[in-house]
Amino acid sequence: MNKVSLIIPVYNESSHLLKFLRLIDALKLQIDKQLVIVDDFSTDNSKEIIDNFEFKSEVVVICQDKNYGKGAAIRKGIESATGDIIGVQDADFEYETEDITRLIQPILDDKADAVYGSRFKKSNPQVFRTFHYLVNRVLTIYSNFCSGLYLTDMETCYKFFPAKVIKNIKLESNRFGFEPEVTAKLARLKVRVYELPISYYPRTYFEGKKITWKDGAAAIRHVTHYNFFIKTKDCIKDEMPKEFIPTDRNLL
């Protein structure tokens, strides 16, 4: 494996986007990186900032023709990514980009087929917002109960996969349903899932946070639907490597 693709959904991030692009463009990893930036029909000057930025990294810029949502942007990015490893990076400073080096290493070492970066696996000096902390914990517990995976942070942004896995999972959620959907569908496969601690610096709505209680309620529906109301064969594409497909007919 010699390249990681970072899928970066962007929607109205102009207040800090230039600073973020400088940070992510300068990031050094143990393998080459590709930035796949998906502007989800921003109504501020985010697109102009992206177009005028002089990237030193390999970059693909995709512009949606209307605002479809974060999940749709991630799907579009996965389609265009050419890296051997594919992960998601929000266009803000909630996550410590230096953590990416640790998160992709288990995949490089062939010890994991998915790596989740957990905000709750170690103590963090940053104080969490009570509402969002409780919502994340409840959603993760419910997801664990339904999927059979034991995670501490299902809703984390930092998720990394070998391209041969994530490109062959059928995804359909448009907004913030990507997290419970991909987790439920991973749980149906013969994959090794790692979870490693990461740093986290939550932003407020005043700083541009977009997820709301409505997305939390929708996540409950997503967890229920994708764990109980679809079959494994409907979750994967024909190109999914056989090593990841369960052989138990009851699971199909």
Mean pLDDT of 61-75: 97
CB 50 within 8 A of CB 8: no
Mean pLDDT of 246-252: 66
State what percent of residues in the chain have pLDDT above 70.
90
Eight-class DSSP state of 212 = -
- Which residue type, as a one-letter code, is found at position 133? Y
Task: Identify the band that residue 52 occupies on the pLDDT scale cut at 50, 70 and 90.
Answer: very high
Three-state secondary-structure class, residue 51: helix
Partner residues linked to 62 by β-bridges: 38
Calpha distance 138→140 (Å, rounded):
5
Fold type of domain 3-251: Spore Coat Polysaccharide Biosynthesis Protein SpsA; Chain A (3.90.550)
Calpha distance 204→207 (Å, rounded):
5
Q: How many CA atoms lie within 13 A of 88 on its CB side?
A: 26
Instruction: Tell me if the pTM is above 0.95.
Output: no
Pick from 39, 35, 15: nearest CA to 93: 15
Calpha distance 10→92 (Å, rounded):
9
Calpha distance 183→222 (Å, rounded):
10
Calpha distance 249→246 (Å, rounded):
8
Residue 204: its pLDDT value, please?
A: 59
Pick from 173, 159, 150: nearest CA to 76: 173
For the stretch 77-96, pLDDT in tens is 999 999 999 999 999 999 99
Pick from 134, 155, 130: nearest CA to 222: 155
- Pure H helices in 125-177: 130-147, 163-166
